[in-house]
Structure 1
Amino acid sequence: MFKILGPQRRGFTLVELLVVIAIIGVLVGLLLPAVQAAREAARRMQCSNNLKQIGIAVHNYHDTFRQIPGNVSVRQTIPTGGATPTTGPSWLVAILAQIEQTSAAERLDYTGTDFSDTNGSGLPNRNWKVMSETKVPGYNCPSSTLPKERFQNTSNATRQWDPTAPASYEVQVPEYVASVGFYFRPGDTDFDWDRYYNETATWTGYGWLQDDGFFSMKNNRFQERRFASISDGLSNTIAVGEHGAYMYDFDGKQYDARPGRGNGAMWSANKGYFEWGGPRYWGQTANVTVPRFPNNSLYSGNYTQQWETTLHNGFRSQHIGGVQFLFADGSVRFITDSIDFVNVFPALTGRADRWVFDQDF
């Protein structure tokens, strides 16, 4: 007599289960770097697109106003009686209407206002509300882990002008910085004092205020310029670069050295005066840089590399191996950290240095 048996069920043994888990772990280990690399590639592409949009905005601004946007000093003469100069809008504010932020641009009041909102000037910030409500996604690199906003105290003048103003409010900190010149002339490692005597540079106490780059600083000496002044060629001149990474000391201590992290953040040009005499802080300016040190370099101990309104903070990014730059012709190029910082990079930041080089970058 035969006995009919049903199908037998057999589960995994412990050894088999451990082998499967081990294989899955190996596969995850192999795939994770690829996934992370793909994500970084996407972020880098978005960063490149941000710079391209800024480039289009700058060109549209030039087409409309026949000049390149720049940082604006409100007054054209030095204030007397110990008063602090009023701070005007930055170049990032100038192109708001061209970067699809027309509503914010139309709400701004440029008269009798202090974009940094400090107590020293005695003027209110009439734009505190629009500044706190407006965030421009294209002004931040998606790869950057730095804070995107800062809280700042509302000045006494602002609270008197608008009793509804809060004690503090939040403003956006940008991670793209304009190039306004070079610290050392291309091919040199010593500062050229003829630039001071020819009134193209002045010592401000916080670095050298320059007028050799693409962007201008509209103050009591430097004025707006056109594309025609870029005699080196638009495709050979850096307009904007990234500053979206911490600066590190040799012992690992980190610093947020972004040129737009101070009062007013992306909105403020700070003071930016071209003067030798008087209080040296009249040369403070924001959201621009005159790089004195290589891209992504460690903190050298020189304070002009570190302070929020100095001109020598340089360029930084969290993209491995280099920094992305917008050139004056609207193209975006990735420049490695190993670029020749004596003969090549200064020439790229100058608009009319006529320096010829045959190295790739």
Structure 2
Amino acid sequence: MVHSSTSPNRSRNGFTLVELLVVIAIIGVLVGLLLPAVQAAREAARRMSCSNNMKQLGLAMHNYHSAYNQLPTHGAGTTQEGAGIFNGSRLYNNASLSAFVGLLPFLEQQPLWEQISNPMNVDIDGVSPPADTAPLPFPAMGPTPAYSWSGDAYIPYMTEIVAFRCPSDPGTSGSPGRARTNYAVNLGDSINTFQINGPYNNNFVPTNVYRTISSGTDRGAFGLRYKHKFRDILDGLANTIALGEIATSLGDQDKRTRPARNAGGDTMTGLPGNPAVCQQWLSPERPMFWSTGDDGGTAPTLEAGTSMHFRGSSWATFYPAHTGFQTILPPNRETCWISHTLYPGMFPPSSQHPGGCHVVMADGAVKFITDSIEAGNSSEGTVNFVTNSSTALTGSRGPGNASPYGVWGSLGTRASREVIGGEF
């Protein structure tokens, strides 16, 4: 018997249009669910890599201390009697090298350290040296890394170092930075620790008494041009932050990476008297950025967009805006200068990790600090040595008092006798 070609029992050879659309929809939903998980896994890996970088910095810090019985000086280098930081000679570097320069040999960067610590006889890119030194070479420890001509001709301070970069930070080398760093040293919980400009004597101490630091306001694990040791950290190595993370600029008006300027130097009414004063310039529509003036807010004054006016733009430079931070405002808050680049300011740690940033405790442990850490009263004036009238401050702002910035502030001071209870 011959079967008809129209038999209802013949096999089917494909999907209907409805079935195909259902399959595509299911795949789309699965991909939509999977992509955030992939992104989260990538960020987790980057965050782990950043944590490992900071662990290496902590080990380098301990190895340095074992070798020299002190922490690397933040503000080391060469200078000349009577010369200030504005002096542009390349015969010395104005004692403006960051602590990271001293850490280089302990971070497997011995060849770079040898370039820096010895005179460099050749201008690698062919740029002629300034007339005050010609035909002399660059001196040992190099010129002042802040000046533009040192970036043109002195290659070591323009060298990108992987150990100083967080993989979550998308900021690239070059403008608006030089050789960037995502890591900085803890300068404590006071704004007015030092006027960076000179003139200085042979011990790198300002010769003007009103620019001299008080031992009571130099409260961090690191100080500007001061030699600190582990024995100075009386609060305990496990209770004191040594290093922290900072975000670098993308060339935008991010409040964390491009400091506002002219926040006021008056110890009672300006930034030292109210660390939260720069909030007035934040955008009402985009609170992570400075106002443009067209968004219902008030635009701040910003420095020109050169490489030295952005957070973390030079790992070799000791300016607080580039390689320092304070434990006053909690992580990822706004940054601002009292006046401009060479003056004190407000520089909290920050990062591109969601919710906070990493820190290295003085004992070498790496911890993640959330933006919501208990930080006391952000409008409370910082500890200071004198008022603008040279009268010593007393009360809660006088040297020797506990930090007014809660757990966060107490983690930043090395010898204020605060008690830190529980995990942070």
Q: 2:160 aligns with which of 129, 135, 138?
A: 135
- In 2, the alpha carbon distance for the partners of 1:3 and 1:144 equals 72
Structure 2 portions without partners, runs of 5+: 119-138, 194-204, 249-253, 257-281, 291-304, 376-404
1:126: Cα distance to partner? 10
CA 1:126–1:303 in structure 2 vs 1: closer, same or farther (change >3 Å)? closer
Percentage of pairs with the same residue: 34
Report SS of the residue matched to 1:267.
coil
| Contact preservation (8 Å) 1:326, 1:333 | yes
In the other structure, the counterpart of 2:374 is 340
Is structure 2 residue 260 aligned with structure 1 residue 211?
Answer: no
Q: Which residue of 2 aligns with 1:97?
A: 105
Alignment of 1:1-361 (within 5 A): 1-3=1-3, 8-71=11-74, 72=76, 74-75=78-79, 77-79=81-83, 83=87, 86-108=94-116, 109=118, 111=140, 113-116=142-145, 118=147, 128-132=154-158, 134-145=159-170, 147-151=171-175, 171-183=178-190, 211-218=218-225, 222=226, 224-244=227-247, 246-247=254-255, 249-251=282-284, 252=286, 254=289, 259-261=311-313, 265-270=314-319, 286-298=322-334, 303-304=337-338, 310-341=344-375, 342-358=405-421, 360-361=423-424
1-structure distance, mates of 2:87, 2:339 = 27
Please give the per-residue CA displacement for 1:262-316, whole angstroms capped at 9, x wherever unaligned: xxx111225xxxxxxxxxxxxx7741123432211246xx544995864421111
What letter corresponds to residue 144 of structure 1 in structure 2?
D
- The one-letter code of the counterpart of 1:91 is A
What is the CA deviation profile of residues 83-116 of structure 1, one whole-angstrom value per residue up to 9, with x for unaligned ones? 4583532111111110111111111146374232
Give the length in aligned residue pairs.
300
TM-score normalised according to structure 1 size? 0.72
Q: Which residue of 1 aligns with 2:394?
A: none
Q: What is the Cα deviation at residue 149 of structure 1?
A: 2.1
Q: Partner amino acid for 1:2?
A: V
- Once structures 1 and 2 are overlaid, which stretch shifts more, 229-238 or 77-86? 77-86
Other structure's SS at 1:326 match: strand
Contact kept in structure 2, 1:73 and 1:269, CA below 8 Å:
no
Aligned partner of 1:352: which letter? A
Asked whether the equivalents of residues 180 and 210 of structure 1 are also in contact (C-alpha less than 8 Å), the reply is no
Deviations 1:54-93 (A, max 9, x none): 0001111111111101221532754279845835321111
How far does residue 260 in structure 1 lie from its aligned partner after superposition? Answer: 2.6
Give the Cα–Cα distance (whole angstroms) in 1 for the partners of residues 340 and 22 of structure 2.
Answer: 53
Q: Is the 8 A contact 2:240 2:411 kept in 1?
A: yes
With over 3 angstroms needed to count, the CA separation of the structure-2 counterparts of 1:81 and 1:316, relative to structure 1, is closer
Structure 1 residue 339, shift from structure 2 partner: 1.2
Q: Please, which runs of 5 or more residues in structure 1 have no aligned partner?
A: 153-169, 185-190, 193-198, 271-283
Report the 3-state secondary structure (helix = DSSP H, G, I; strand = E; otherwise coil) of the residue aligned with 1:268.
coil
Paired residues of 2:331 and 2:369 also in contact (CA < 8 A)? no
Q: Give the structure with the higher percent strand.
A: 1
